[in-house]
Each structure stands twice: as structure tokens, then as C-alpha cells.
Amino acid sequence: MKTVLSWIAAVVAGVLATSGLAETYPSKPVRLIVPFAQRRRTGSRRGGWSWGGDGAQPPGLWHRVLRRFAIALVAVTSLAAGASFAQPYPSKPVRLIVPFAPGGGTDIIARLVAQQLGQSWGQTVVVDNRGGGGGTIGTKLATESTPDGYTMVLCSLGVSYAPALYPKLPFDPLKDLAPISRVAQQPFVYVVVPALGANSMKDLIAMAKAKPGTIRYGSGGAGGSSHLGTELLKVMAGIDMQHIPYKGTGPALNAMLGGEIQVQLIGISSVVPHLKSGRMKALAVSGAKRSAAAPDVPTVAESGVPGYAFDVWYGMLFPARVSRALVRKVSADINSALKSPALAQRFPALGVEAAGTTPEEFARILRSEIAKWRKVVKEANIRVG
């Protein structure tokens, strides 16, 4: 049992915790000081509540305490409700960090989702591209942002294998980020320039085996999805190709169009126009099954590398310590956006599948993927740099 004031404090704290104020305040634990000791027995057979722990009970104490408590409780409830309605979320623009350069698959998906969220919220969602380090630079920036709900980051699969690739990773995805929802998933596609002369994945593998290290493949950065997926192909197919990293998928794509590299593993959304124009040729999709965006393109597993599967997912996260109420709200808003007619039309055309989840489901996916990639990176001896 606690003293009357301890009980009152607990009730007031509960009111604050369950009110709409939780979406804006507090963003960290609040200390509520009760300037009295806990209750103790006074020696009376009937016991009773002690005031300050010394057993003294001034006349009319209960009447005064309960009356003041009722007044305080009404005031606190009114304050919480008022704050909830006076400060709706979001009340200002929201920053969405994309840890890759403009033009890549992550950027395209981020802008589509940002547009839908902006329309739903009545606020601008500003896409902030912060590429480099295989996505680690922009993600680290997100972890350092104020946990007020006004900074999000759209990470790709890379955030799950970064801990295995970078022993000195400057953040812990499981501790420094708060999963909101997985957003989408898509297979990547291996593309080549027509000048290479490879018409299938089997052709590419044969060429790479005949002239080890002479074929140049590009990626959006060391440690990125395209790098890791291609290194996995090299190990499983027993081939060697030279890796040329760029600062983002966009620059790597331009380099390929300019003839600097010959092969690239890239999101289908980034190369659809170039496949249609004939400037690039699709050899195989990286996923476990064929893509609706390119149904005639076989999988890598179908093309002579059994067991190969590399699906890329994208997910939205907050910095850690954002209130759970706000995480759940934004997760629900994202899932609503994913069901919008606009995204239902655009995603399939880009080879992307909407894949919304609850925060809890996304957290489980992230933990599972991190454990899986630690094992894969070790067994395949995949290294960066």
C-alpha cells in the first residue's frame, strides 16, 4: 500500500500516459516527486492512511484530499485533451531521409509514399537524400535526429546486413531505430549493356569464367544491395567480376549508360525505360519468383544458379524513443497510403509490391534479417572495400 499522495500520483501519471498528449509529450520518462514517505502501520487496529508516514491524520483530511484530487484530475485530463487537439500530428512538414542518391529505387518509392502521406496529413513530406556508405550515412543521421516524429528514414534491406559488413557501424538498427512499417518489396534485375554480347545469365557466367576479373559490374556503393547481391552471385556461380562502386544508384545507372560498366544488379523500377528503349538488356531477376513487371525474364535460379534468391524490401523507421502511440499512428497512415489507388497503380508498373506491416511485425522481420545476413556474409566471405 502507498500513501494517499502516492496513489494520487500514480493515477495522475496514468492519465497522462493514456491521454492524447502521448503523441507529442512526453518524449522521455517524466519524474513525479511525492514529498512524503510510504505509508506504515500506525498501531491502530483499524490501520488507516498515514499522512507523511508519521500516522498523523488532521481533521477533515479525507474531505480536503479527495476534493483537491478531483479538481487536479479534471484539470490534468482537460490539459491532456486540449494538448491532443491543439497540436495534431503532423503540425509542420515532416522530413523523410532517403540514405541514397536521387534516382534509385529507394528514392522513387520514397517519393511516391511521401506524396500520399502528404495528401493524407495536409503537410509536406520533404524527401532528403543523404547518400553514401551503402546507406549508413543517411541512416546514422536519422538515428541522431530529435525523436519527435518529424524525421523518418526509408531504409532498404541494407540496414539488415550492415551490422555484418561493418564491424564499426556507428549505430545499432535494433537499438537506435524504431520500426514503423515495412513499405514494399521487389526483386532486382541483372542488366547488361548490349555491347557485352550476353543474352542470358548463362552467357554472362560463361564469359566471366572465361576471362576472370575483366567484366566490370557497378553498384550504388560498397555495401549496398546491388553490391551484396552480386557478390553472392559470384560466390554461388564461381565467377569473378570487377566491382566499381558509385555514390548511389543514379550515378551507377548513368555510368552504365555511358559505357563505364557492363553489368549491374538494380531495381526494376530504375531501368524500365532503358529496357523498353533497348539501351539495356535484362538477363535475370534476383528474386525467388518472376516479377509481374517483367514476366518473361527468368530468375537467376532458373538460369543455372539453383538456390539463388535476393529480394529487396523497404521499410520506414523513426529514431528510437519516439512515442509508441505516434509510431502506431504513422504505421496506420502508411498502410492506408499503400492501399491508395495511386500506389496500387504505380507500384506494379515499377515491379514493386506493397508490403505494409504493423510496427511489431516489421521489428520481427528486421531481427530475423539481421541474424540471417550475419550468417550469409560469414559463409560467403563477402567483404566491402
pTM across the whole model: 0.65
Nearest to 325 by CA among 133, 212, 178, 164: 178
State which amino acid sits at residue 339.
Answer: K
Q: What is the DSSP string of 102-169?
A: TTSHHHHHHHHHHHHHHHHHTS-EEEEE---GGGHHHHHHHHTS-SSSSEEEEEETHHHHHHHH-TT-
What pLDDT does 58 receive? 52
pLDDT at position 36:
52
Residues with Cβ within 8 Å of residue 336, at least 6 apart in sequence: 120
Rounded to an integer, what distance in angstroms lies between the CA atom of residue 161 and that of residue 220? Answer: 15
Q: Which amino acid is at 171?
A: F
Angle at 51 between CA 47 and CA 56, to 5 degrees: 70
Residue with cell 566490370: 216
Indicate the helix (H) or strand (E) that contains 218: strand 216-219
Which domains are assigned to the chain? Answer: 4-86 (no CATH), 90-385 (3.40.190.150)
- pLDDT, residue 63, reads 55
Grid coordinates belonging to 236: 554461388
Whether 176 and 341 have beta carbons less than 8 Å apart is answered as no
Give, for 217, the enclosing helix (H) or strand (E): strand 216-219
- Residue 228 phi/psi, 5-degree rounding, is -65, -40
pLDDT at site 227: 87
Which pLDDT value is given to residue 79?
A: 47
Nearest to 130 by CA among 145, 116, 117: 145
Residue 219 to residues 80, 132, 228: CA-CA distances in angstroms? 50, 12, 9
- Half-sphere exposure of residue 59: CA atoms within 13 angstroms, side-chain side: 0
The dihedral built from the CA positions of residue 218, 106, 268 and 374, taken in this order, carries a sign that is positive
pLDDT for residue 117: 98
**SS3 assignment, position 83:** helix
Identify the bridge partners of residue 281 per DSSP, sorted by sequence position. 192
User: Mean pLDDT in each 10-residue stretch from start to end of the chain (385 residues)?
Assistant: 50 47 54 58 47 50 56 49 61 97 90 98 98 91 98 96 92 98 93 97 98 96 84 91 91 96 91 93 93 90 93 95 98 98 90 93 95 83 71
Alpha-carbon distance 253 to 346, whole Å?
A: 21
How many Å separate Cα 346 from the centre of its chain? 21
The reported pLDDT for the residue numbered 291 is 86
pLDDT at 16: 47
